[in-house]
Structure 1
Amino acid sequence: MMKKVLYLATLLFCAVFTSCEKEEVGNTAGVATAGQWYVTVDAVDESGNVVYEDADLFGLGRNLLLTYSTANNTATEMIVDDLQTFWGYRVKVNVDPVNMTFSTSTTEPNNLNGDEINVTITDGKIIKDGGVQNNGSKADYIEFYVNFSNDDYPANYGYAKYHVYGVRYSGLAEND
């Protein structure tokens, strides 16, 4: 009888301590490029010179943008999603994880709401500690150029594309 009690106590002891172990949570393959970003959008000419600043263009201010892994979970592709705060686009881009650069390989169809527009993203890059938050602290910086197939504004207002740029979301209210 004593052996059974000792056996059950040992079993219970092992079960309790085994269940207390923390499981390591793994990251996605694209953890370095994935994130939430506060971005601004300017209209620029072919050389990247500002033609209309955000306040003059659509008056949007800073927008939230997401970059995240695709279902393939590779470091060489990610999704860029503007959460419908600017043009309403979500497209897959190719990523060079060593140089932290990204772009669409060709014109990508917009994967949001089944829209029949094509999106081109070029010269995308993420720079570690390359930006500055509102409170003065360093933050990762993102920038890229984007064009939309259903956009008549560039031809009508004399610019070529949109320059999207900003910093990684810090989680601090003072930086929002």
Structure 2
Amino acid sequence: MKKYIILLLLATVSFTFTACDNETEPGGTAVEKMAGTWYVTWEQKNAQGEWEDVLGGTVELNTYNTAANVPTEMWLKEGYLLNTALKVATNYAGRTFEMAEQTVSVAPEVWGASEITLNITGGKVLADAATTPSGMPADSIVFFVNVQGDDTYKIAGFRRTGFPADE
């Protein structure tokens, strides 16, 4: 019986030491400071040249790394007006992004056609440059979408904080 207790004790000690291995730090993605969920407004200039909200509130936008996980590109997915994911070129060091003119499939009931041509300019992610509805600082995103060479929209907002007051 003493032999079994010693074997059990040795097995327990060996399992204890193997459980003490250092955990590997997984790291982040190549565009992690630009990636996230954002609450944004779509604005268009009115007759007086002032930007006004065209949707009557905020919509969700997501930015995330591509499968290549490189700092020169990311996905931008808007699920309301465009309802598509767009691959944009990024300058990670400057936290900027843009997209050359591209034809995308869209909902014809929203845009009047099943495909539109658009480009993205002036895209920026600014650290702690926004104030959330709860009054806390958050990262800001802003960019301009030109549709069919005619209409330009300003999309701007803040990174999701997860706090109920900001939802």
So what's the TM-score if we normalise by structure 1?
0.75
The equivalent residue for 1:157 is none
Aligned-pair identity (%): 32
Q: Which fold has the larger relative contact order, with Cα–Cα distance below 8 Å and residues 6 or more apart in sequence?
A: 1
Pairing partner for 2:72 from 72, 76, 85 = 76
The equivalent residue for 2:13 is 13
Structure with higher strand content: 2
Unpaired runs of 5+ residues, structure 2, are 108-113
CA displacement at 1:107 relative to structure 2: 1.5
The equivalent residue for 2:104 is 110
1:143 aligns with 2:139: no
Q: Bigger CA drift: 20-29 or 66-75?
A: 20-29
Distance in 2, Cα, partners of 1:170 & 1:161: 28
CA displacement at 1:71 relative to structure 2: 0.7
CA displacement at 1:19 relative to structure 2: 3.8
Matched-pair contact (CA < 8 Å) for 1:42–1:50: no
Pairing partner for 1:63 from 59, 62, 73 = 59
Superposition misfits of 4+ residues, deviation over 2 angstroms: 1-26, 108-113, 115-119
Give the direction of change, closer, same or farther, for the CA distance of 1:118–1:135 in structure 2 (3 Å limit): same
Distance in 2, Cα, partners of 1:98 & 1:165: 20
Unpaired runs of 5+ residues, structure 1, are 155-159
The equivalent residue for 1:121 is 120
SS in 2 for 1:71: coil
Kindly report the root-mean-square deviation, in angstroms, between the aligned alpha carbons of the 2 structures.
Answer: 2.9
CA displacement at 1:16 relative to structure 2: 4.0
Correspondence 1:136-175 to 2 at 5 A: 136-149=135-148, 154=150, 160-175=151-166
The equivalent residue for 1:39 is 40
SS in 1 for 2:75: strand
Matched-pair contact (CA < 8 Å) for 1:90–1:110: no
Alignment coverage as a number of residue pairs: 158
CA displacement at 1:72 relative to structure 2: 0.5
